Amino acid sequence: MVLAQLGGSISRAIQQMSNATIIDEKVLNECLNEITRALLQADVQFKLVREMQTNIKKIVNLDDLAAGHNKRRIIQQAIFNELCKMLDPGKPSFTPKKGKPSVIMFVGLQGSGKTTTCTKYAYYHQKKGWKPALVCADTFRAGAFDQLKQNATKAKIPFYGSYTESDPVRIAVEGVETFKKENCDLIIVDTSGRHKQEAALFEEMRQVSEATKPDLVIFVMDSSIGQAAFDQAQAFKQSVSVGAVIVTKMDGHAKGGGALSAVAATKSPVIFIGTGEHMDEFEVFDVKPFVSRLLG
């Protein structure tokens, strides 16, 4: 189910409810059940959906709604607020400051779009006058350095890596030191992502984090991983202090649910979304417009 379909299903459920002559508990329950189904199909975690349902029922106390009040509007608003709440962990992520060196470490599974997203993030800031730099601390995947180098060269962003050094911690530290000396204000460290949640990957990630002391760790997640989103995000959060999330591949058959799960699991906000393979297919994530789109 793509985002637009989810929005369609939710607004249809609300529409159906408002077509009823009397909005009583039964009608409200039917509407909430429809919405629950739509959210589950969009990969929102079951626990989150149940919580949302309970909260809405608490807010929308039908007996308290005086006759003449627009019940549809009130219910719609409650659903909107609940979805916004699910996407808002309550505290903003670390915000780098232009001109002051910040180290940003990217983590995620292989294939999630991590390396592409590192360049997109660098390019986005470069266009706004920052001095970003890319460090390839992925010594595990053959070709990782070449890929980063190619992307960085295309975007005219300085990069650091090695074809011979096999210790990711060493490369990360050297890269960060080099770019601090060059007065770069956004030093982006790309780490290795393996195809599954191997213990060695988490240990390596922890060591790179300990050695480079990043100001922010960004967890990159492929939006198409479905219901696995919550557990995956939580596993990363338990190893390194994830402070923000970027959800990739929101174009095509993207589902919105993974974003909600990632926020819940990491207690960190989504800051950007990836909407294509190109460098500029990258958008700042904004909760309210995203939820408005969900609700159609």
- CB of 43 or CB of 185, closer to ligand GDP: 43
Our finding on whether 193 is near ligand GDP (CB under 6 A) is yes
Return the residue nearest ligand GDP (CB atom): 274
Residues in contact with ligand GDP, shown as a per-residue x/- string from 203 to 242 under the rule CB under 6 A: ----------------------------------------
Host H or E run for residue 219: strand 216-222
Residues in contact with ligand GDP, shown as a per-residue x/- string from 4 to 43 under the rule CB under 6 A: ----------------------------------------
In angstroms, give the least distance from the CB of 208 to ligand GDP: 15
In angstroms, give the least distance from the CB of 215 to ligand GDP: 21
Helix and strand tally (H, E) in the chain?
A: 11, 8
Instruction: Tell me how far apart the terminal alpha carbons of the chain are, to the nearest angstrom.
Output: 14
> Between residue 110 and residue 149, which ones bind ligand GDP under the rule CB under 6 A?
110-116
- CB of 45 or CB of 275, closer to ligand GDP: 275
- CB of 52 or CB of 172, closer to ligand GDP: 172
Number of residues that bind ligand GDP (CB under 6 A): 17
Nearest alpha carbon to residue 106 among 184, 212, 6, 178: 212
Nearest alpha carbon to residue 100 among 69, 72, 71, 125: 125
Find the angle CA(264)-CA(116)-CA(261) to the nearest 5 degrees.
10
Query: Which one among 7, 108, 158, 269 touches ligand GDP, defined by CB under 6 A?
Result: 108
Between strands 282-284 and 270-274, the pairing is antiparallel
Rounded to whole angstroms, the Cα distance separating 119 from 131 reads 13
All residues at 6 or more sequence positions from 241 whose CB lies less than 8 Å from its CB, including other chains:
209, 217
- Residues in touch with ligand GDP (CB under 6 A): 108, 110-116, 193, 248-249, 251-252, 274-277
